[in-house]
Structure 1
Amino acid sequence: MARPTYQRVADTLRQRIIAGDYVPGDRLPSRQDLAAEFEVGLRVAADAVQQLVAEGYVVSRTGSGSYVRPRPAMRRLTRSWYREARGGSPFRADMAAQAVRGGWDSSSESSTAPKAITQRLAIEPEAAVMCTTYTFTGDDEPVMLSTSWEPLEITGGTEIVLPEEGAHAGRGVVERMRAIGQHIVQAQEIVNARPADDKEADRLGISRGTVVLVIQRTYFTAERPVETADIVVPTDRYELAYMIPVGVD
């Protein structure tokens, strides 16, 4: 089914913004100019601009016109093994280093592991896991999302079965697992990029279709993987910095 005309006009304008043809602060052509360029009616031109307003690319100013929305200041998220190994929350420590108040909302429920997760955790098909979803914030603004899975064959019946409850609530995975005798020795991260889906965009407060980085992180003890997570980071707000220890002979 063909996309409505106003969406096709919006697609072209959006691509111009992403490509830098229109930079933050630029005024978009008027409805009349857009209607003439794309050979459409004034209503179609107005609907196309309104679509970009709804997506967060454009702001409208009464009596002035529509302008490309300024990009937020870029911040850095540090991915480092030593930060994970220290006490407390690695995320909160990273935010504090930037003078930002870090926090999060979360919810946990036991569920059956999807096939891809059973492979990453090296567990039996449809094995039970504790699935926890997080929205991480900095100064009360969304920073990143995370969905974490931990095998209940490891954590079930222990004091850390619910990651955000009990004596170890708010601690990193390394510290929590250590509390039940699971000593993490290695972490793997695989990074990909893709457009945010609608739910992710709503939770992060970003435009639909904005490119996000997806980090597939898995923690390992010497014997097996004990936790895996999908971490979603918006690329228009945050860059990743990896701190990698280098041994000296």
Structure 2
Amino acid sequence: MGRTHLPGHAYEHVAAELRGAILGGDLVPGTRLPRHADLAQRYGVSEIVIRQAIDELKHAGLVDTRGRGGTWVRERPVVRRVSSRRYQADRGPQTEPRTSFTDDQGIEWSQYRLDKVYRWTEACDRLAGLFGVPVGTRVLERRFVFYSAGVPAQMSRPCLLASDVEGTPVADPDNEPWPGGTINQLRTLGIEVDDITESVGTRMPTPEETSVLRLRPGVPVFTITRLMRAAGRVVEVADPIVIPGDRTVLDYHVPLPPPAS
């Protein structure tokens, strides 16, 4: 193949063709790419251009390099679905211990692990605005890392109002993980969650998120801000929930009411 004369950098065209082959299934996960010298000859470019193209594919999370072992099409991790109906698992009935997370992951309770850190703090501007309370209101900040069969799969920062939970079993981290999650926790206090809203965004992870979730270069994350309400009052703010973008499909079910007559 001769040198390309299309606009743009040569490495971008090489990367685009290899990306198309990977995403189109011509290069399946586990396939080793040809040597740099062979790719350079195929595309009529220098090996420097090939290295630039491979670097772009690495940052996109499509290939891995193994030192002198070559470059391989990256194995695609199992995709988990997070449905708009996922919280039904928390509402019960609880015939056996479970949460919306264990249902999403398709795991048994024994395969579920939750790392947690609790602290009492004062609501900042953003947190107070989400709760609809004055800045400085006392809240319980919880930081969770969720593991599925030993693999870190999600981070979250769910906060509760001290006026609702202080001095109760819900404020004791030793009671985690709690079957039914926050919904069941609040139910034990006479607070029935009846509405949940989630705002979803995407971004590149922070260094901490990359380390904790064991993310590879180029993998973005979903960020979710969740508000739980009871009788119109916000009773929990999870901001943010962080989920690896290469392991998750956000699957929403939107029932439509019959048209007005």
Alpha-carbon distance in structure 2 between the residues aligned to 1:119 and 1:26: 50
| Equivalent residue pairs, number | 233
Measured against aligned partners, the alpha-carbon deviations of 1:167-189 in whole angstroms (never above 9, x if no partner) come to: 98454111111111222111111
Relative to structure 1, is the Cα distance of residues 169 and 97 closer, same or farther in structure 2, using a 3 angstrom cutoff?
closer
What value does the CA root-mean-square deviation take over the aligned residues?
3.9
1:77 deviates by 3.0
Q: Which residue number in structure 1 is paired with residue 185 of structure 2?
A: 176
Relative to structure 1, is the Cα distance of residues 193 and 158 closer, same or farther in structure 2, using a 3 angstrom cutoff?
same
Matched, 1:68 2:73: yes
2:153 partner letter: V
Q: Which residue number in structure 2 is paired with residue 4 of structure 1?
A: none
Q: Which residue number in structure 2 is paired with residue 3 of structure 1?
A: none
Query: Contact 1:56–1:207 (CA<8 Å) still a contact in 2?
Result: no
Matched, 1:227 2:233: no
Identity %: 21
1:194 partner letter: R
Matched, 1:59 2:65: yes
Matched, 1:241 2:251: yes
Alpha-carbon distance in structure 1 between the residues aligned to 2:219 and 2:122: 30
* Aligned residue runs from structure 1 range 44-193, under 5 A: 45=51, 52=58, 57-60=63-66, 62=68, 65-80=70-85, 81-86=87-92, 87=94, 88-95=97-104, 97=106, 101-162=111-172, 164-166=173-175, 169-193=178-202
1:238 partner letter: T
SS in structure 2 of the partner of residue 184 of structure 1: coil
Measured against aligned partners, the alpha-carbon deviations of 1:176-215 in whole angstroms (never above 9, x if no partner) come to: 1111122211111111122222211111111244121112
Measured against aligned partners, the alpha-carbon deviations of 1:87-117 in whole angstroms (never above 9, x if no partner) come to: 3442354057456933221111112223211
2:130 partner letter: R
Unaligned runs of 5+ in 1: 1-8
Relative to structure 1, is the Cα distance of residues 144 and 167 closer, same or farther in structure 2, using a 3 angstrom cutoff?
closer
Alpha-carbon distance in structure 1 between the residues aligned to 2:160 and 2:237: 7
Query: Contact 1:110–1:128 (CA<8 Å) still a contact in 2?
Result: yes
2:65 partner letter: V
TM-score when normalising by structure 2 = 0.71
Query: Contact 1:78–1:94 (CA<8 Å) still a contact in 2?
Result: no
Relative to structure 1, is the Cα distance of residues 57 and 96 closer, same or farther in structure 2, using a 3 angstrom cutoff?
closer
Alpha-carbon distance in structure 2 between the residues aligned to 1:57 and 1:135: 27
Unaligned runs of 5+ in 2: 1-8
